[in-house]
Chains A and B, each alone.
Chain A
Amino acid sequence: MSILVDRNTRVVVHGITGREGEFHTRQMLAYGTKVVAGVTPGKGGTRVEGVPVFETAAQARKATGANASIIFVPAAFAADSALEAIEAGMNPVVVITEGIPVQDMLAVVAAARRRGTRLIGPNCPGLISPGEALVGILPGAIFRPGPVGLVSRSGTLTYEVVHELSRAGLGQSTCVGVGGDPIIGSRFVDILHLFEQDPATRAVVLIGEIGGTDEEEAAAFIRDHGTKPVVSFISGRTAPPGKRMGHAGAIISGKMGTAQSKVEALRDAGVPVADSIQEIVGLVAERLSSPARARS
């Protein structure tokens, strides 16, 4: 079992003829993902890695039965592609592109919500359900099937943590990179909700960072509705206020968004916050071996 995608998911790659689109189409196919179509306006009728390319998402859907989208389109055009995917009925829609203007994303997120589309990203590594499907740019080889769900604002930290989890024999149900932008389609709370409903997920790792209040909102959700153990890690604990640390969303402004506030909110909700990535593995293992003790 998994959340969001599985072996039956049929993926269309928007921007499949670009450098990244092509490279990661190859990677996803190698992982076993059913990449059934690509979309690049002006390149319809061609093929990439044997995958047929269409002019529009609607055509791709009609011809191939594609039901999920992944978007590698450059930032200036990515919001338009996401809206096209939403309108064509794709679900989920995963936006890898970074650098999309915030106001474009406000419209895309609103459109997705109206249509009931699960939007992941933008500026995210996508998601993987190990052994089932990879819809993203994550390095498939480090993941193992298992009971740990993972949700993160950072792609590379996801890889770090998964690398350690897998080495310790702790496989993953689904790993979702929600993205590092201030406006993203799915937030921690949305993904935690899905993990709650997924019988295959027995523990969750939540990787947050400075900026915004998504971690605090996740803590409130866990406190009020959580039944599964959650372990957390927050990056940017030493980041200075007022400086944007790479991610558009990672900035401490005024009293908002400090690592300390997030760590406290999570600990108050009964979520242990690891001081290092290595520590996460021990905390997860502990909770998996005695889940009853984790929440009383």
Chain B
Amino acid sequence: MRLTEAQSKAIFRDGGLPVPDGRVASSPDEVRQIAGELGGRVAVKVQIPIGGRGKAGGIRIAATPDDAARAASELIGARIRGYEVRQVLVERAAAVQREYYLSVTVDRSRQAAVAIFSTAGGMDIEEVAEKTPHLVAKEWADPLLGLRDFQVRRLFEEGGAPAEARKELARFARILYELFRRHDAQLVEINPLAQLEDGTLVALDGKVEIDDNALFRHPDLAAMREVEGDHPLERAAREQHLAYVKLDGNVGIIGNGAGLVMATLDMVQREGGRPANFLDIGGGARADVVERALRIVLSDPDVKSVLINVFGGITRGDEVARGMLQALGQLERRSVPIVVRLAGTRAEEGRALLVQAGRGIETAPTFQQAARRVVELAAGA
């Protein structure tokens, strides 16, 4: 779960990291008032959980409160990269002397948290790493020992940080690692970390990404999800613990296991169709889960046909069939054709249940045949 800048900075502030003065607003009037209180030039920044907001036109600098209100009236309600802007952050604009990059994230290859520092702040770190790898310093934290002080010193030595800034940078790095651990983050990033003209350091922008799997022990963070501009069906699916991604085609796809569902999307595309979604019912899904999954997919008006592709291991075919029949039993009329391909644990029992019910659900023996048929049905519908 990606937090907005304002949410990320609230976490920074609580942890003891300096951030610019500012507040969140959801109307131009509010923005005018905040800008007036702050005085001088302000930055008006859209609060949506994506990077590259500046390039997308989501950050404006305003000289007066009226300018700020005008910028806000253009930004609030606009759509940027698919997200509806509901809030902006109004901050005092800083007189920046230098910009650094500092983050802690998970390194999958090394299987450890890694602290990353660069003097090339304000830029996309992947680009910096690719074009100028010597400007990116890294230190890997031992999962059992943590990020040690000598590593922090080495990070800024190797990263070429100016001597006078190192002590404060070290404080930032230690706090960042601590915040990363305490909040079960996957990324805690300050970019740019600005050195102001008076020499002080401040987190000018902030990005925090929380591990969804750890939200059960962070109810305060889970509550922050509200402001995310997800697709309504994605939100409904998440509330029901289903892995669902809305796509732009017309063939609904439900399966068990992410790999199989992805391969099913690939196969439908190979057969000339366009997937409307990705929906993984997960391992060991019972009938009620299948029922909810099918209802979510059928409630998408783009969906012209549905493919249910289940290879049972921990998931049982009879449970899948029962869930489908429950879902269909509750829908007034079923106009969307469904193709089912069941294999593995209790697949025969599942198929028998579907045949017995006699609701015209088609079954297919292989998943290639199922894909071909569902694409035909989508085209014919």
- Report which A residues bind B (CB closer than 8 A): 19-20, 23-24, 75-76, 96, 98-104, 106-107, 109-111, 114, 125, 137-139, 142, 152-157, 159-160, 163, 180, 182-183, 207, 209-210, 212-214, 217, 233, 235-240, 243-250, 254-256, 275-278
Contact = CB atoms under 8 A, between A and B. Distances in A.
Contact of B186 (A102, A154, A159): A102
Nearest to B260: A156
Contact of B257 (A19, A157, A212, A277): A157
Contacts of B299: none
Per DSSP, chain B at the interface is mixed
Contacts of A102: 106, 184, 186, 211, 213-214
Nearest to B212: A248
A240 B248 CA distance: 10
A246 to B, nearest CB: 3
Interface string B60-81: 0000000000000000000000
B367 A160 contact: yes
A261 to B, nearest CB: 14
Interface in B309-361: 311-314, 343-345
Contacts of A153: 259
A24 B314 contact: yes
Contact of A110 (B143, B256, B343): B143
A217 B108 CA distance: 12
A155 B283 contact: yes
A180 B243 CA distance: 13
A111 B368 CA distance: 43
Given A152-B259, A155-B259, A210-B262, A246 B280 contact: yes
A137 B345 CA distance: 10
Contacts of B367: 160, 277
B106 A246 contact: no
Contacts of A109: 111, 143
B259 A139 contact: no
Which 7 A-B pairs give the minimum distances between C-beta atoms?
A: A154-B259, A246-B258, A156-B257, A156-B260, A101-B214, A246-B280, A247-B258
A217 B109 contact: yes
B269 interface: yes
A110 B144 contact: yes
Interface in B93-113: 106, 108-109, 111-113
B259 A238 contact: no
A183 B259 contact: no
A176 to B, nearest CB: 14
A106 B313 contact: no
A111 B247 contact: no
A245 B344 contact: no
